[in-house]
């Protein structure tokens, strides 16, 4: 069942304000968010807007997964006849199970805790882990990015087509870690900074046409829920070598190579034309 609505988090607007987007950029980004929520089609955006859009896309995908799970659970409950009645006091009408999940902001308000007259105010946030039913509290003074955000920063470097994105992320990390991340104390500032980071080598890692094809395939696999396979595409050794009537896709992941050979993705076939498709390790 397709949803007619989706949750638009106010935090997204604050992110756009932090990034100092123009009215045109903001309008384009909001349109892209709405279109993606409705169709699942990832838009083509300039580098900065894509850096802001990527985590928003992940949130929309997560909300859609929660909604799908609730629908499946409701259908299962309905097939069982609903909740059993509790004797004579039970209502004649069966319980109504909503198909709309509760709106729970993933960016909850800051909680202030005063610990005595002379103590400092501790500002903390909490996050809810929907999969494991846990609440985590963390200190908001720790402004360095966590491992999840570190992966998002790497993706930005990877799709910028720079040489050695792992090494460049390490350089970026060490540079800002020495400065205690004071100038980059929000995820938005860090995404903007990594999008403008000057690499040691300005030459492209692979042909831009190959990277665009690779990105299209990566988006499709994510949209199909094959996220682990898509993650294996974030390989800085991945490339295409065309020689002697053969197009050889090189990638570290054996599973990814086998999948390419077995499924022969249309994105790759269109890219290589009449050449024979093969795969190999780097």
Q: Give the pLDDT confidence score for residue 51 in this predicted structure.
A: 86
Give the CA diameter of the chain: 81
Side by side, the strands of the sheet bearing 276-280 are 239-243, 246-250, 276-280
Residue 209 reports pLDDT greater than 90: yes
Q: Where in the chain is the domain with CATH 3.30.300?
A: 208-280
* pTM confidence score: 0.54
Could you tell me what percent of the chain has a pLDDT over 90?
A: 37
Are 194 and 48 within 8 A, CB to CB?
Answer: no
| CATH 3.30.300 applies to domain 208-280 | yes
Q: Which of 26, 63, 64 is nearest to 46 (CA)?
A: 26
Q: Which residues contact 231 (CB under 8 A, 6 or more apart)?
A: none
Q: Which residues contact 202 (CB under 8 A, 6 or more apart)?
A: 162
Q: How does pLDDT run across 83-97, given as a tens digit for each residue?
A: 555 554 444 555 444
Average pLDDT for 34-59: 88
Average pLDDT for 15-44: 86
Q: In whole angstroms, what is the distance from residue 101 CA to residue 73 CA?
A: 12
Please give the mean pLDDT across all residues of the chain.
78
- Going by pLDDT thresholds of 50, 70 and 90, the confidence category of residue 82 is low
Q: In whole angstroms, what is the distance from residue 40 CA to residue 6 CA?
A: 12
Q: How does pLDDT run across 161-170, given as a tens digit for each residue?
A: 999 999 999 9
Q: Which of 18, 17, 49, 19 is nearest to 31 (CA)?
A: 49
């Amino acid at each position: 069942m397709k949803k007619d609505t989706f949750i638009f988090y106010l935090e997204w607007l604050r992110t756009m304000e932090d990034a100092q987007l123009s009215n045109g950029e903001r309008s384009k980004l909001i349109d892209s968010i709405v279109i993606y929520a409705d169709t699942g089609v990832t838009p083509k955006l300039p580098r900065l807007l894509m850096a802001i859009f990527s985590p928003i896309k992940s949130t929309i995908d997560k909300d859609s997964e929660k909604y799908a799970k609730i629908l499946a659970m409701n259908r299962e409950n309905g097939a069982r006849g609903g909740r059993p009645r509790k004797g004579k006091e039970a209502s004649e009408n069966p319980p109504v199970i909503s198909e709309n999940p509760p709106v729970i902001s993933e960016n909850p308000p800051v909680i202030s805790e005063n610990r005595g007259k002379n103590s400092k105010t501790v500002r903390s946030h909490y996050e809810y882990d929907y999969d494991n039913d846990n609440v985590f509290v963390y200190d908001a003074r720790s402004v360095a990015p966590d491992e999840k955000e570190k992966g998002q920063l790497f993706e930005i470097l990877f799709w910028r087509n720079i040489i050695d994105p792992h090494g460049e992320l390490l350089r970026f990390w060490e540079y800002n870690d020495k400065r205690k991340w004071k100038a980059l104390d929000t995820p938005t500032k860090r995404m903007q900074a990594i999008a403008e980071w000057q690499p040691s080598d300005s030459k492209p890692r692979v042909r831009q046409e190959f990277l665009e094809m690779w990105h299209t395939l990566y988006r499709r696999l994510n949209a199909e829920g094959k996220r682990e396979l898509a993650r294996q595409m974030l390989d800085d050794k991945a490339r295409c070598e065309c020689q002697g009537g053969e197009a050889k896709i090189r990638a570290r992941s054996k599973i990814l190579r086998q999948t390419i050979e077995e499924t022969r993705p249309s994105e790759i076939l269109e890219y290589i034309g009449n050449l024979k498709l093969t795969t190999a390790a780097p």
